[in-house]
A = this chain, B = another copy of it.
Amino acid sequence: MDFFEAVKARRSVRTYTDKAVPEEVIQKALDAALLAPNSSNMQTWGFYWVKSAEKKEALVKACLSQSAARTAQELVVIVAEPSLWRRNQKEMLRTLNENAGPKFALDYYGKLIPFLYGFQFLAPLKWLMFNGMGIFRPMARRPWSPRDNAEVSIKSAALASENFMLAISAQGFATCPMEGFDEVRVKRILKLKRSSRVVMVVSVGEANAEKGIWGPQLRFHREWFVHEV
């Protein structure tokens, strides 16, 4: 499907039909998700496709039993997992060394990334350093805190979520991104790490023709959001 058609076809669907979603539709959308741009290419994300009937039932409840979850054929939980930086950084360095990567990249992944993602007990010091130096010259101000690290991962996971949803739309199925869920319960169901954050639960299925969408797509005035400066 044409890109712009896929964007226009994507609507948040709250009620699905009983039609099953073929396995390869989800797999293809997951592949698209993994190609999203992400912070420093650290890929600190996770995609949990919940297939077990028992876990699915628990997940629907954790999504406050909303119809977008209840009537869904498939549920995929997209998670920010900042703690993966260690494993991924090692793999990145291994790849760079194997391919005789440039020095700036080896320094970036060997020194800067561990400083930014690790040493979280130095948070107040990092804040002081970034904002102190920032008085005199342009300086990145974040991430200095664990919450900032989570935020960086959440942002990347959101980019991947959009790829996933558009990829489902491009294959003729529908999605609903849900943020109304009990994060504590979802983390327990998926056995996630303490530092991981649930970014959204995406339901997938075929839109119910009558009750699928709530009405025409409502966007406020373009000039409220687009500023040419």
Contacts and interface: CB of A to CB of B under 8 A. Distances in A.
Given A37-B165, A138-B61, A177-B37, A46 B227 contact: yes
A48 B229 contact: yes
A123 interface: no
| Size category, A interface | 35 or more
A223 to B, nearest CB: 11
Interface string A39-61: 10101011111111001000001
A181 interface: yes
A34 B139 contact: no
A2 interface: yes
A194 to B, nearest CB: 14
A140 interface: yes
Contact of A217 (B35, B152, B190, B229): B35
B3 A6 contact: yes
